[in-house]
């Protein structure tokens, strides 16, 4: 009886989405209730193979969370004008967070290389979460800040390695 009622009244899709989101580093600290609010703030879309998600130079307003499929990131080479593949994202990866935070042009292009189901966290929805559910917002922003800091350290190291030697 209880099982029947549970089946009638609870949303299995919501549970599936919560399980997926909790598996991500970004949302691992959120409670079940917090994840429920977060799911309601996400938009979902399925991209066909080869479909462009965004292009380098587009103004970024959303962060993308890849649930299934694969997405290729590419950058245009200034000299040849051709797009060079820089990274392939797999299920569970997220991308586009930098431009979302800064509202700046995207630094790379993204294209689905197979049928991909993607969740979009739109900037206005993130702001709404920060305003009405600060606990969720702080947790997400802390993880994003941690990620940015790691990338920056990595970029600093790379810059030092490639710096020409100085003498005298």
Partner 1 sequence: MARPTSQPRSFPFLTVFVVLGLSAYAVFHLRAVLAPFFLSIALAYLLNPVINWMESQGLRREAAVVLFYIVVAGALTVAAQQVLPGIKEEFLELKQHLPAYLDHGQEALLRTQAKVLRWLPVEPVAAKGYTDKIYEPIIAQIQNVPSYLVGLFPFLSLFFLIPFITFFLLLDWHNILSGFIQLVPGRYVEQTLYLISEVETSLGNYLRGATIVVAAVGTASYVGLRILGIKYSIAIAALSGLASFIPYMGAILGAGVGCVAAWVQTGSILAGLKVVLLFTGIRLADEAFVQPVVSKHAVKLHPLVYLLSLMVGGELFGFVGLVFAVPAACIIKALLKVGWEWYTTEGYLVAPPLEGESSPYT
Footprint (CB under 8 A) of partner 1, residues 99-118: 102-105, 112
Question: Which of 14, 98, 113, 147 touches partner 1 (CB under 8 A)?
Answer: 14
Residue 84 binding partner 1, by CB under 8 A: no
Helix axes of 123-132 and 134-162: crossing angle, nearest 10 degrees:
130
Nearer Cβ to partner 1 (42/168) = 42
Give the Cα separation of 164 and 9 in Å (integer). Answer: 65
Give the Cα separation of 144 and 129 in Å (integer). Answer: 15
Stretch binding partner 1 (CB under 8 A), from 23-31, 48-56, 137-145, 158-166: 48-56
Contact by Cβ (8 Å): 93, 66: yes
Residue 27 binding partner 1, by CB under 8 A: no
| Closest of 91, 69, 81, 86 to residue 23, by C-alpha | 91
Footprint (CB under 8 A) of partner 1, residues 136-165: 152
**Number of C-alpha atoms within 13 angstroms, CB side, residue 135?**
8
Stretch binding partner 1 (CB under 8 A), from 22-30, 58-66, 84-92, 157-165: 58-66
Residue 124 binding partner 1, by CB under 8 A: yes
Q: Is 22 helix (H, G, I), strand (E, B) or coil?
A: helix
Which residues of the shown chain bind partner 1 in the complex (CB under 8 A)? 8-11, 14-15, 32-33, 36-37, 39-40, 43-47, 51-62, 76, 78, 81, 102-105, 112, 120, 122, 124-125, 152
């Amino acid at each position: 009886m209880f099982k029947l009622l549970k089946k009638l009244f609870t949303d299995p899709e919501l549970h599936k989405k919560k399980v997926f989101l909790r598996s991500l580093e970004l949302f691992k600290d959120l409670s079940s209730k917090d994840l429920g609010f977060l799911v309601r703030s996400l938009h979902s879309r399925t991209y066909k193979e080869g479909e462009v998600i965004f292009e380098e130079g587009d103004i970024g307003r959303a962060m993308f969370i890849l649930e299934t499929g694969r997405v290729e990131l590419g950058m245009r080479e200034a000299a040849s004008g051709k797009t060079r593949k820089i990274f392939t994202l797999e299920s569970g990866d997220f991308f586009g967070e930098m431009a979302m935070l800064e509202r700046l042009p995207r630094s790379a292009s993204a294209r689905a290389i197979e049928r991909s189901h993607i969740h979009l966290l739109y900037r206005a929805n993130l702001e709404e979460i920060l305003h009405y559910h600060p606990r969720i917002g702080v947790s997400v922003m802390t993880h994003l800040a941690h990620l940015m800091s790691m990338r920056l350290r990595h970029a600093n190291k790379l810059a030092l390695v490639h710096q020409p030697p100085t003498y005298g």
